[in-house]
Amino acid sequence: MREFFTSYQDELLQTSITIIILVIVRYIFHKAARKVGVLSDFNTVRTTLIIKYINVVLSILLLAILSLVWGVNFNDLGLVLSSVFAVIGVALFAQWSILSNITAGVILFFSFPYKIGDRIKILNKDFPTEGIIEDIKVFHMHIRTDEGELITYPNNLFLQIGVTKIDKESHDDATDSI
């Protein structure tokens, strides 16, 4: 055992430093995501989802750095990764919208000016929708219309189509005049 530690002393030290740094970075990112969630008054489920995304990205980064530290042969690693990505690419080719909705969900978390409970109007000429945001999920949003219908709207469309927030007073005035 002592032989192992003396032979791989540099690699073990670099691994320890890498893990410590990534734990600190993880803590900072988690704290920042929670702060954005609190300041923007986001649902805790949404904040937890973003934290899971952060964990996945940092885990992949940790594996990449550790493979560099331990001297993995990049020719072999490149062959394995290219094969894995080819299989994943073929499997997800028909499901590209899933990836775009996940990406849109992350973007909406940090930049979407609306939150659960807001009344919005989606400015889509083919399918105009007005209602209250009931929930924001990974792939879609739930919007409850005045008629009680629950509409599931994909996240990636929120980045492509105009959305306006309707003030509660102006909506009440409009319904009173009808």
Q: In the structure, what pLDDT confidence band is assigned to residue 13 with cuts at 50, 70 and 90?
A: very high
Whether the pLDDT of residue 38 is over 50: the answer is: yes
Q: In the structure, what pLDDT confidence band is assigned to residue 25 with cuts at 50, 70 and 90?
A: very high
Instruction: Give whichever of 5-9, 118-122, 158-162, 166-170 has the largest mean pLDDT.
Output: 118-122
- Mean pLDDT, residues 151-161: 87
Whether the pLDDT of residue 85 is over 80: the answer is: no
Q: How far apart are CA 33 and CA 10, in angstroms?
A: 34
pLDDT given at position 170 = 56
Instruction: Please indicate whether residue 32 or residue 70 has the higher confidence score (pLDDT).
Output: 32
pLDDT given at position 176 = 46
- Mean pLDDT, residues 55-69: 89
Phi, psi of 43 (to 5 degrees): -65, 140
CA dist list (Å): 148 to 69, 108, 156: 57, 25, 24
**CATH number for the segment(s) 109-176:** 2.30.30.60
Note the pLDDT tens digit of each residue in 114-135: 888 899 999 888 888 899 999 8
Phi, psi of 50 (to 5 degrees): -65, -40
pLDDT given at position 177 = 42
Which strand (E) or helix (H) includes residue 135?
strand 129-136
* Mean predicted lDDT score pLDDT of the chain: 83
List of long-range contacts for 51-54, beta carbons under 8 Å, 24+ apart: 53/106, 54/26, 54/29, 54/30
